[in-house]
Chains A and B, each alone.
Chain A
Amino acid sequence: SQTIHQWPATLVQPVGSPLSLECTVEGTSNPNLYWYRQAAGRGLQLLFYSVGIGQISSEVPQNLSASRPQDRQFILSSKKLLLSDSGFYLCAWSVSGRLGNQPQHFGDGTRLSIL
């Protein structure tokens, strides 16, 4: 069966520090991968998605970036964090393909607090 792992679970960082959040998927090949941010425990904002190694699409301009160095690894980064970057970050995967009728499956998230 497929599993998705995110780490760390919680992170407290000072303003201006760098960020690296990691997400890995097991049990499937060539998944679509997604990074979301959830603010105040409510709506989800899609940040990045990837349909393959090295292929990243950005949905919202900001000081965050994403990379996919391996098929099942998705990394969210920042060179200098802002207070507004605080939130709950969720990684998700779905079966690849253009049909779009497959659900996304989410990791347990990283709670990021910026001080």
Chain B
Amino acid sequence: AQSVAQPEDQVNVAEGNPLTVKCTYSVSGNPYLFWYVQYPNRGLQFLLKYITGDNLVKGSYGFEAEFNKSQTSFHLKKPSALVSDSALYFCAVRDANYGGSQGNLIFGKGTKLSVKP
């Protein structure tokens, strides 16, 4: 069975400091991994994805994520946080070996990022 875990409900960071939002996953085959951001009363916006290749993936708004196969992790990072980065962040996984409903995206429960000035 596929699953994804975001172990922190909330992450608090001071503006200008680096941030990390954690994500671990479980799939039987190879993973396709995605990060999304959600601002209040809005839909989810796609930030970045890992499909294959380089373990470090760069995305929108200065975010990047590192795929670690041995630790089954895909943590989201940013070198210098902005107050405007405050939002809800979702990690999602899909098993590359499956189509149909088994291939649908599985979302984590979300991590609320709060960046203080």
Contact = CB atoms under 8 A, between A and B. Distances in A.
Interface of A: 6, 34, 41-44, 46, 49, 57, 59, 90, 92, 98, 100-101, 103-109, 111
A107 B43 contact: yes
A49 B94 CA distance: 15
B46 A105 contact: yes
B18 to A, nearest CB: 25
A105 B32 CA distance: 16
B42 A43 contact: no
Interface of B: 32, 34, 36, 41-46, 49, 51, 88, 90, 94, 96, 98-101, 103-105, 107-110
B43 A101 contact: no
Contacts of B49: 101, 103
B88 A41 contact: yes
A100 to B, nearest CB: 5
Given A100-B32, A100-B99, A106 B104 contact: no
Contact of A44 (B32, B34, B41, B107): B107
Contact of B96 (A59, A101, A108): A101
B6 to A, nearest CB: 10
Contact of B42 (A44, A98, A104, A109): A109
A42 B46 CA distance: 16
A59 B104 CA distance: 10
Contacts of B41: 108-109, 111
Contacts of A41: 88, 110
Contacts of B100: 57
